[in-house]
Structure 1
């Protein structure tokens, strides 16, 4: 619903609320030999190198209507990458009223809103089990904005930018701003769950758990892919190359790994 100027909250000065989204994703692979593990990590490093991650963050900045002021990026040895962007206010006079609605955000488009003193960062963490078998890739993206819009509007694009088995998302509103009468506002938009910013087509693919602290404006959602196809977790070959016993053993190891990451605890 589009709000009229009279219906919108009138603020005293700039909106000083800080809205922060942390988007954490995991990709899991079974690598039965050192050679497979090395090839998988090389593949991940190529797929998510600093240049590719810079392009992803540039699209995030486009979606939330920000100017990119500065980019620092680095590929690490033996693996991993980081990108940090400093972004500033977008070239518009007012934020669109639909920014307040609990709906999935767009894929890359010309959405623009007000921002100031904000940043977007990403760090990657390839990792593997010391006894071979399981390799994982984790990417952490943080989007922090000031102004009226929530960085949750970039969530839809981020989900579609990574082929992920597990997603863990945190959203928090910090600080306060004031209305024209000096009354403090500690949040300026309605939100009941991060899930409301995820399309139904994506939600249908994942099991989801919410842990929200409404009075503190803290929202937490984690997601684990429902369907399991062993072929999606083997690197360089398919399950028909394995015996039935091998398929069962590998499946159990992969599902255990995903459950431990999803629930945040060791289960053996």
Structure 2
């Protein structure tokens, strides 16, 4: 594939590129004790320290300098982390906005300019139906040449994700040496093109894109799931076949409602 002609800018690249996405992990806890254990597990697995480590790995992937870290665990549940980032002095030819999956931690490319990464977590449960849901809201915002989409691969692989809902938007403009405004500086048809093949094969995906406004939206839902991995504090062999079907229906309903953004009422089907 021929390389695209490099855009020659007048001064600094002023485009702001923001990737925002929600990651959902769903579980089934039949008793209040199991529900408490699940929430405790989530708080430990995704504590402020663990989330800080994940976001610091993102900065390593894209070759950025960490300027400041603020993190907080909340009572009774949840955590938040915010990292301010500046660019590394990496040669321009190493910076790539190509429409392809980004690297994992062992392969470091690109940089971020005057940017930030944030994550907030929201454990949630319902006392009647046994469903517990963990949500992480993540924002990666960059100002400069590199797109935060290059961090997407690593972030999705860092969480156990049943549902992922992503938004990407490019704001502002930058000028070339002739004074012409450029409202986007890289090719993008879909966020899906920045995901690894194994991810695209595991998830059902839907795009809602507004190309003329440089707004891109992708929703992902697991195609298949193993019930045993959704039961907290009990093995699937200890549950009757009838109860297994009931729990599977509850989990699938929860996933469909989150994916489609509306409640399922009696007699209503989502597919």
User: Would the TM-score normalized by the shorter structure come out above 0.5?
Assistant: yes
Per the TM alignment, residue 2 of structure 1 is displaced from its structure 2 partner at its CA by: 6.9
**Structure 2: gaps (5+ residues):** 266-271
Q: Which residue in 1 is equivalent to 2:261?
A: 264
Q: Which residue in 1 is equivalent to 2:268?
A: none
* Aligned partner (choices 39, 58, 64) of residue 56 of structure 2: 58
Deviations 1:208-250 (A, max 9, x none): 0000000000101111101122111100212211112211111
> Root-mean-square deviation (CA), in Å?
1.4
Q: Which residue in 2 is equivalent to 1:152?
A: 149
* Aligned partner (choices 40, 43, 64) of residue 42 of structure 1: 40
With the length of structure 1 as denominator, give the TM-score of the two structures: 0.95
Per the TM alignment, residue 151 of structure 1 is displaced from its structure 2 partner at its CA by: 0.5
User: Is the CA contact 1:65–1:110 (under 8 Å) kept in the aligned structure 2?
Assistant: no
User: Is the CA contact 1:33–1:132 (under 8 Å) kept in the aligned structure 2?
Assistant: no
User: Number of aligned pairs?
Assistant: 265
Change (3 A) 1:258 1:181: same
Per the TM alignment, residue 132 of structure 1 is displaced from its structure 2 partner at its CA by: 4.3
Which SS does the other structure have where 1:231 is aligned?
helix
Q: Which residue in 2 is equivalent to 1:169?
A: 166
Q: Which residue in 2 is equivalent to 1:25?
A: 23
Q: Which residue in 2 is equivalent to 1:215?
A: 212
User: Is the CA contact 1:95–1:149 (under 8 Å) kept in the aligned structure 2?
Assistant: no
User: Is the CA contact 1:94–1:114 (under 8 Å) kept in the aligned structure 2?
Assistant: no
User: Is the CA contact 2:66–2:86 (under 8 Å) kept in the aligned structure 1?
Assistant: yes
For 1:16 and 1:110, the matched residues in 2 are separated by 27
With the length of structure 2 as denominator, give the TM-score of the two structures: 0.94
For 1:111 and 1:95, the matched residues in 2 are separated by 14
Change (3 A) 1:153 1:2: farther
Change (3 A) 1:26 1:235: same
Change (3 A) 1:267 1:18: same
Q: Which residue in 1 is equivalent to 2:269?
A: none
Change (3 A) 1:95 1:111: farther
Change (3 A) 1:130 1:87: same
* Aligned partner (choices 74, 78, 81) of residue 79 of structure 2: 81
Which SS does the other structure have where 1:212 is aligned?
coil
For 2:70 and 2:32, the matched residues in 1 are separated by 32
Deviations 1:181-203 (A, max 9, x none): 11000000000000000011111
**Structure 1: gaps (5+ residues):** none
